[in-house]
């Protein structure tokens, strides 16, 4: 299969497939003309990685998960631990987004949104915090 076929079947952009090749996730054969020639195993790996990435796993987590997938003697507890760490990271992101939403909602409520130039949204964005200093 060529890269276009693999992109269609895996649902991944060709640029992403090239990146995954660059970082060693896949190693397609090269034809005499230099084109990549993918087999079903590479297609399966790409679909696996695409699904894992869609669930928020990092590239490094995907590397670990691929190794675990190939290791038939692995304990499922190891896989579960990787997934639990990812879930904790997702929960932290959700909490951050909720805090951002509360702050932005509060600022929007405080802004009159009229013809006057004073705006609590801009005033808040312009504040220097200890994090900025």
pLDDT in tens, 69-103: 999 999 999 999 999 999 999 999 999 999 999 99
> Do 50 and 82 belong to one domain?
no
- At residue 55's C-alpha, the angle toward residues 39 and 69, to 5°, is 45
Measured CA distances, 41 to 3, 13, 73, 87 (Å): 14, 18, 20, 28
> Do 45 and 87 belong to one domain?
no
Reply yes or no on whether the pLDDT at 133 is more than 60.
no
Task: Answer yes or no: are the C-beta atoms of 16 and 6 closer than 8 Å.
Answer: no
Percentage of residues in the chain with pLDDT exceeding 90?
A: 92
Residue 36: domain span: 1-56
Q: Is residue 69 part of a domain?
A: no
pTM as predicted: 0.79
Give residue 20's pLDDT band: very low, low, confident or very high (50, 70, 90): very high
Q: Specify the number of domains making up the chain.
A: 2
């Amino acid at each position: 299969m060529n890269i276009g076929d693999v992109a269609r079947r895996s649902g991944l952009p060709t640029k992403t497939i090239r990146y995954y090749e660059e970082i060693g996730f896949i190693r397609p054969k090269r034809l005499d003309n230099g084109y990549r020639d993918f087999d079903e195993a590479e297609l399966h790996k790409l679909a696996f990685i695409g699904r894992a990435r869609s669930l928020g796993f990092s590239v490094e987590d995907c590397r670990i998960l691929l190794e675990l997938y190939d290791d038939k003697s692995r304990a499922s507890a190891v896989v579960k631990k990787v997934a639990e760490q990812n879930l904790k990271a997702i929960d932290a992101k959700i909490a951050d987004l909720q805090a951002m939403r509360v702050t932005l909602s509060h600022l929007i409520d405080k802004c009159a949104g009229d013809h006057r130039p004073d705006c609590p949204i801009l005033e808040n964005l312009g504040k220097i915090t200890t994090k900025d200093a």
